[in-house]
Chain A
Amino acid sequence: MDIRAQVAMVFHLDKCIGCHTCSIACKNIWTDRKGAEYMWWNNVETKPGTGYPTKWENQDIYKGGWVKDGNSISLKGTGKFKGLKNIFHNPHMPVLDDYYEPWTYKYQDLFTAPEGDDQPTARPVSLVTGEHVDVKSGPNWDDDMGGSKDYARQDVNFKDLTKAEQEAMFQLERMTFHYLPRICNHCLNPACVASCPSGALYKRGEDGVVLINQERCRAWRMCVTACPYKKSYYNWNTGKSEKCVLCYPRLESGQAPACFHSCVGRIRYLGVLLYDADKIQAVASCNEDELVDRQLDIYVNPFDPEVIYNAKKNGIADSTITAAQKSPVYKFVKEWKLALPLHPEFRTLPNLFYVPALLPGMASVADGVYNTTSKSLWGGIESNRLPMKYLASLFSAGNVNKVSDVLKRLMAVRLHRRGVTVGDLKKEEISEAMNEVSMNADTADAIFRLTTLATFDERFVIPPAHREESIEMLENTADFKGSTGFGFKERPARGL
């Protein structure tokens, strides 16, 4: 048993209102720089849709992630041999046009335009070349386009659905969508780290944050190809790759990452999971239908004395173990089994879990009336607006039972609370729903509380890095006495 700590996350999709506040918070702090304008370390997609960069989930195009290779796994598009062979030109790398060409507007023109009959306009100019551009795509160009031809219908997650099923989905009355906010998953088996020929990427031992050492990145860009979630980006100005840093300077001082802190829907939870690093290889190489269960198995019970003993032996601080015991992520993922990893079939063992959206999945429409009573919900799981196969393709490598279990549990909580607050349902109906997922009233209430009423400190249980020691995690403070501290000691200028 090799116990390590991971700062893990849960996003509750039913609560996401698609406001993009998270993306803006991140942009303002991290990527509002030359060369990084196009990067959205946090982005919010509409599902069904093609996402950002376009069709990122389609690994036939981008060759990201791992694939099963006998009893083990290998990187799909990179790795020792393929990486070094393709080092002069990386054939599967997305280019600027697969994301979008970032632009701004010539606001000055509004003031300096000569007097005339027409309103002055601020024309869009490219942030790369500075020339006028006709804006044709953006980071959230498919926002709210749940049924559109160019976006929703190109979604690769429809691969398991028949043509007829797809067509049925796009009937006007059934059309639906939900949001999918995404950041780097700070994976347990990160493809980005494995693919970097220079060894610039690494996972931090203390909290599992995956980072790129800017001093060692040589712009071979293998991580951009290797990350199946396309969460490693190439800065065309500095000639270095960059990615989400989970706001580690904020984490170290006990603050939630900016996207978590600013989330308007309060959909985000962050906390420690303890896991057994000895199992990573075996879990990442298991059969596809076992992937979700085996991955959830890797996270261990922080109350188990043996786990605590081994954690301490590995130098994990007591405060981190306490944080793991209070972790909202542990509750959602392990205790309540409500959250699933996004695309587990990429085999990177992502640490961001999603509570799937219930209503787009469950509700059906009869005679133009939105139906939310229990019978019709359980009865017609197949006739629901977002087919289970679609959700299963997103969250459980195609295993329909996994997502429908989660949705049933979510529904049980709803019915229970409806019984408590409205009281219009038959008792038997509620207990039938609760029994089916073997949930008791206390658990349902606890889920309700953490979902709807949780305070800041309940949603984000951040292990203290001990502020006074957090700088020592990185630098010898004596070396920096009287200087500006850490951060860039040189301007981020493009190398010669």
Chain B
Amino acid sequence: MINYLLFVALPYASLAVFLIGSIYRYKMKGFQVSSLSSQFLEGRTLFWGSQPFHWGMFFLFFGHLIAFLFPSTVIAWNGQPVRLLILETSGFAFGLSALTGLFVLIFRRMTNKRVKIVTNRMDVVVYIVLLTQIISGLWVAYFNRWGSSWFAAYLTPYLRSIFVFDPQIEAISTVNSLSIKLHVVSAFTIIGIIPFTRFVHFLVYPIDYLWRSYQQVVWNWDRKRIRTSRNHREGVKSTNN
């Protein structure tokens, strides 16, 4: 029962909340979608927190994504022990980097008066789930070696089954490691709280900057297409004001 709750109900609830909540917040509350940077109030310690944390998270995120999408490639890569070792060590290093960064960020928030002023309740929640997520991840990597090989047997089928709406939880519920279960549960928790926290900021990663032109001009008032009070359906409402 508890397994159903944690590995079927929670994922679906989280994903639903994530989808609806994020779209709603993006569309209706654009003013509240922000990375809420506090560098302006304190910049030096932030560097030693934000950089290791984000770069760690960045590589871990893509590592997980690749493992999920192309499990057979990863297993093939791991065919040679040296390669396996390289993969696992670098994963562990990125995890440590993220954890160190996170510690610095938390320390900074607790000690700097100015940053304290802009800290809210949801920031505390964010720090707690991130700590859980990263520590449980490192724990799994260390004590349940070698995750990059066994995940294909346990986790990929489970995660796939969730996404094809045919939940198969045997594999995951028979895993007798609390840390693995915790890692999965807290991952879905993070997904669920994205719309209610500063996590929204990575959904708006400005990748389109790479192909947009540098300068932007917006015409509010296209004289040829202006709407009149008689015919207000004509013309397009400008989207950038």
Interface residues of A (CB under 8 A from B): 75, 80, 83-84, 88-91, 93, 95-96, 128-131, 189-190, 193-194, 197-199, 201-206, 211, 213-221, 234, 236-240, 315, 317, 469, 472-479, 490, 492-496
Contacts and interface: CB of A to CB of B under 8 A. Distances in A.
12 contacts: A128-B41, A131-B113, A199-B216, A203-B215, A204-B219, A205-B218, A206-B221, A238-B31, A469-B226, A474-B220, A476-B232, A495-B31
A198 B198 contact: no
B221 A89 contact: no
Interface in B113-136: 113-114, 117-118, 120, 122
Given A89-B39, A218-B33, A476-B232, A198 B215 contact: no
Given A128-B114, A215-B31, A315-B223, 18 more contacts: A80-B209, A84-B210, A88-B51, A193-B215, A197-B206, A202-B217, A211-B241, A213-B241, A216-B240, A217-B34, A218-B33, A220-B35, A220-B37, A220-B206, A490-B29, A494-B120, A495-B29, A495-B32
- Kindly name the residue among B43, B113, B198 whose own CB sees the greatest number of chain A CB atoms within 10 A: B43
A93 B201 contact: no
Interface string B11-35: 0000000000000000001111111
B59 interface: no
Nearest to B222: A315
B214 A219 contact: no
Given A129-B117, A204-B220, A496-B32, A189 B37 contact: no
A89 B48 CA distance: 9
Nearest to A277: B217
A188 to B, nearest CB: 9
A218 B223 contact: no
Contacts of B113: 129, 131
B237 A476 contact: yes
A234 B37 contact: yes
Given A472-B227, A474-B241, A477-B229, A203 B206 contact: no
Given A129-B113, A490-B31, A495 B39 contact: no
A236 B40 contact: yes
Interface string B44-56: 0011001101110
Contact of B37 (A128, A214, A219, A475): A219
Contact of B217 (A93, A205, A317, A469): A205
B40 A494 contact: no
A480 to B, nearest CB: 11
Contacts, number: 164
A237 B34 CA distance: 11
Contact of A194 (B33, B50, B215): B215
Contact of B40 (A194, A221, A492, A495): A221
Interface in B191-241: 196-198, 200-201, 204, 206, 208-210, 212, 214-224, 226-227, 229, 232, 237, 240-241
Interface of B: 29-43, 46-47, 50-51, 53-55, 113-114, 117-118, 120, 122, 196-198, 200-201, 204, 206, 208-210, 212, 214-224, 226-227, 229, 232, 237, 240-241
Please list the 5 inter-chain residue pairs (A to B) with the smallest Cβ-Cβ separation, ordered nearest first. A215-B30, A495-B32, A197-B206, A205-B219, A194-B214
B39 A205 contact: no
Contacts of A189: 215
Contacts of A201: 216
A199 B31 contact: no
Contact of A219 (B36, B196, B208, B226): B36
B221 A473 contact: yes
Contacts of B217: 202-205
Contacts of A239: 34-37
Contact of B43 (A83, A93, A204): A93
Contacts of A469: 221, 226
Nearest to A470: B221
Contacts of A130: 117
Nearest to A38: B40
Contact of A473 (B35, B220, B224): B220
A204 B222 CA distance: 12
Contacts of B197: 496
A96 B40 contact: yes
A472 B236 CA distance: 12
A414 B41 CA distance: 49
Contacts of B42: 95
B34 A240 contact: yes
A95 B41 CA distance: 6
B114 A96 contact: yes
A219 to B, nearest CB: 4
